[in-house]
Amino acid sequence: MNGKHSINDDLLTPDEHVLSTLEADGSRRWLYPRLSLGKFWHARRIVGYALIALFVALPHLRIFGKPVVLLDITHREFTIFGYVFLPSDTLLLALLMLSVFLTIFLLTALLGRVWCGWGCPQTVYMEFVYRPIERFFLGTSGKGGVPSKKVPGYRRVVLYLVYFVLSMGLAHTFLAYFIGTERLSQWVTQSPFEHPGPFFVMALTTGLMMFDFAFFREQLCLIACPYGRFQSVLLDRNSLIVAYDTKRGEPRGKLHHELPVLDEKQGDCIDCHLCVRTCPTGIDIRDGLQMECIHCTQCADACDEIMTRIGKPTGLIRYSSQDAIETGKQKFLRARVFVYPTLILIVVSALIYNIANKKSFDATLIRGSGLPFSVNQQGLVEDQLKIKVVNRLETEDTLQLKIEPDSLELKIDGDTTMAAKASDTIPLVVIAKRSDFQFGKIGATITVTSQTTKDERSIRCQIFGP
Ligand code: SF4
Ligand code: SF4
């Protein structure tokens, strides 16, 4: 000891590497993956740019005069493929969510994390927009993608300016999904001093985009996104994964002398670490299936490049499955391949049936609080009820209410005209003669009719009496 005592001296060094993005002292290990230009990368780039075009276009597209996607949280309305889900559509929303989750389960069981590697906006924007720009401004040095050491300061400044402009564009696109393109264009054209709220939201979203793509990066997949953590339950041994062929690759060993001479007992892996240096999450695919693997196929491209150079068949790292790698047999048909589609079919059919039978308004009967009935001065029985109605139309609508049997009288204690897309509660009083009650009840039907669409809803209920 030389008198200076660092806190690091007290730390125990782990025997094995703990996290791909942590240095031994616990600080962040910055990842600068090497670019591997193989067949998968070229295909992913085409898919990636097509998806970016789709992500940008989607909030602008209309179907039946409505946005294809609008997740209007402030007004509690979700528009999906032109159909508006209102807060009262609990069943529809539950069915929609269930069908989305089941589809994710099915796709993951079949294709593994193909979404993470090929379709997720985080991967697509990071690998095909931000990372190429970074490489352009900072260059690369050595065998990995580490930025060049001799980058003039102004290039870094310009890089962050470009990041900022891009993040602002991304923030606008992202918010368009939640506020719609009409409101977005208002926000863009308004002065920030007159409308500080929208300006603040936009500035905050831009800041978050910048933070994510310039700083947080792979940490979003590793720490924040829950999907990777569900991988162990969603995948099975026959799901498609990016896998290292251990049987072919091991025992790994350095390439001796000139290419392509390999030791006879040696596997095909020449331990060049290119698959690790190219990995955007910093892992070694040769350690097996890992939560951090986003199945981006960069390691497969890197290894194919090496195999070609040493005259070996490509595909040492490839799309395969755990069982196929270990036993050589790929089993496609298994229980979840039948169970998930069957459940999806049932849930989606229920969703479509319920949407097809939706009326232009929703009506729910609620019993008034307090006593179930009272007797008025004329000796008639009065039941207090309420009817909660939601007008789904884009225009004002008036509702008509009637009750059966005719011996009952319905008194409406409020206005039945409703503003467009408004919800309201209409108080009702049902009046009945004492003699009409049998065992203290009368079976009744309240029918609500829209004057605009003539849609009709019948609600069965019990009128209570002495
Ligand atoms: S790139 Fe291929 S050969 Fe090189 S270490 Fe990875 S698996 Fe082995
Ligand atoms: S291990 Fe391979 S497929 Fe998985 S994230 Fe790393 S480079 Fe992508």
Residue 334 belongs to a domain = no
Task: Supply the range of the domain harboring residue 458.
Answer: 361-464
pLDDT band (50, 70, 90) for residue 148: confident
Tell me: pLDDT of 330 over 90: no
| Structure-model confidence comparison of residues 331 and 307, the more confident one | 307
Q: Ligand 2 center to residue 346 CA distance, Å?
A: 36
- The reply to whether 4 falls in a domain is no
Residue percentage of the chain with pLDDT more than 70: 94
30-68 pLDDT, tens digit per residue, is: 999 999 999 999 999 999 999 999 999 999 999 988 899
211 and 259 belong to one structural domain: no
Nearest-atom index, ligand 2, CA of 292:
5
Q: Is the pLDDT of residue 12 over 70?
A: no
Residues with CB under 6 A from ligand 2: 242, 278-281, 283, 285, 293-299
Q: Show the tokens assigned to 440.
A: 């203290």
Rounded distance from Cα 49 to ligand 2 centre (Å): 20
Judge if 243 and 389 occupy the same domain: no
d(CA 227, ligand 2 centre) in Å: 16
Kindly state whether residues 392 and 408 are assigned to the same domain.
Answer: yes
At residue 14, the pLDDT reads 62
Regarding whether 282 and 217 lie in a shared domain, the answer is: no
Which ligand has an atom closest to residue 275 CA?
Answer: 1
Q: Which residues line ligand 1 (CB under 6 A)?
A: 244, 249, 269-275, 286, 302-303, 306, 316-317
Ligand number, closest to the Cα atom of 299 = 2
Q: What 8-state DSSP symbol labels residue 62?
A: E
Q: Are 213 and 167 in contact (CB under 8 A)?
A: yes
Kindly report the CA angle at 464 between 463 and 465, in degrees rounded to 5? 125
Q: Cα(58) to centroid of ligand 2, in Å?
A: 29
Task: Give 412 Cα–ligand 2 centroid separation in angstroms.
Answer: 66
**Which residues on adjacent β-strands are paired with residue 449?**
400, 456
Three-state SS at 293: coil
- 217-to-17, 61, 310, 392 alpha-carbon distances in Å: 21, 30, 34, 42
Average pLDDT for 284-296: 93
The values of phi and psi at residue 257, to 5°, are: 50, -135
Scanning 190-269, the segments in alpha helix (DSSP H) are 196-211, 218-219, 231-234, 246-249
Residues 133 and 42 in one domain: yes
Domain end marker among 198, 231, 264: 231
Digit-coded pLDDT (tens) for 84-109:
998 888 999 999 999 999 999 999 99
Of ligand 2's listed atoms, the one at least distance from the Cα of 284 is 1
**Which comes out higher in pLDDT, residue 412 or 19?**
412
The residue type at 90: T
Tell the residue nearest (CA) to atom 3 of ligand 1.
269
Residues 287 and 411 in one domain: no
- Give the residue whose CA is nearest to atom 5 of ligand 2: 293
Reported as a pLDDT band with limits 50, 70 and 90, residue 264 is low
CA of 273 from ligand 1 middle (Å) equals 6
Residues 39 and 131 in one domain: yes
The separation between CA 320 and the C-alpha centre of its own chain, rounded to angstroms, equals: 26
* Ligand showing the shortest atom-to-Cα distance for residue 271: 1
Q: Which residues of 163-182 are buried (b: 16+ CB within 10 A; e: fewer)?
A: beebbbebbbbbbbbbbbbe
Residue bearing the CA closest to ligand 2, atom 3:
295
Question: Is residue 350 included in any domain, yes or no?
Answer: no
Whole-number pLDDT of residue 3: 42
Whether residues 156 and 242 fall in one domain? no
Q: What is the spatial distance between Cα 15 and Cα 449, in angstroms, rounded to a whole number?
A: 74
**Which residues partner with 367 through β-bridges?**
385
The residue out of 231, 261, 296 marking a domain boundary is: 231
Counting ligands in written order, the one closest to the CA of 253 is 1
> Stretch 325-337: mean pLDDT, rounded?
87
User: Atom 2 (ligand 1): residue with closest C-alpha?
Assistant: 303
**What pLDDT does residue 245 have?**
96
Residue 454 lies in a domain: yes
- Positive or negative, the CA dihedral 156, 158, 161, 162 is negative
Instruction: Kindly report the average pLDDT of the chain as a whole number.
Output: 90
Lowest-pLDDT range of 13-22, 172-181, 192-201 = 13-22
Ligand sitting nearest the alpha carbon of 286? 1
Q: Is 378 helix (H, G, I), strand (E, B) or coil?
A: coil
Domain boundary pick from 231, 248, 280:
231
Task: Kindly tell me if the per-residue pLDDT of 260 is higher than 60.
Answer: no
Q: Cis bond leading into 372, ω under 30°?
A: no
- Model pTM? 0.84
In a domain, 338, yes or no: no
Which CATH number does the domain housing residue 413 bear? Answer: 2.60.40.10
Please indicate, yes or no, if residue 183 is contained in any of the structural domains.
Answer: yes
Q: Which residue has the higher pLDDT, 330 or 126?
A: 126
- In the reported structure, the alpha carbon of residue 174 is separated from the centroid of ligand 2 by a whole-number distance in angstroms of 27
DSSP codes of every residue in 386-414 = EEEEEE-SSS-EEEEEEEESTTSEEEE-S
Q: How far is CA 332 from the centre of its chain?
A: 27
One-letter amino acid for residue 132 of the chain: P
Please tell me the distance between residue 333's alpha carbon and the centre of ligand 2 in angstroms: 26
Q: Are residues 250 and 209 in the same domain?
A: no
216 shares its domain with 177:
yes
Is residue 297 assigned to a domain? Answer: yes
**Do 361 and 399 meet the contact criterion of CB atoms below 8 Å apart?**
yes
Q: Is residue 305 part of a domain?
A: yes
Record the tokens describing residue 66, joined without a space. 């409505």
Order the strands of the 83-85 sheet from edge to edge.
69-72, 77-80, 83-85
Same domain, 145 and 99: yes
184 with 250, same domain: the answer is: no
2 band by pLDDT with thresholds 50, 70 and 90: very low
Count of structural domains within the chain: 3
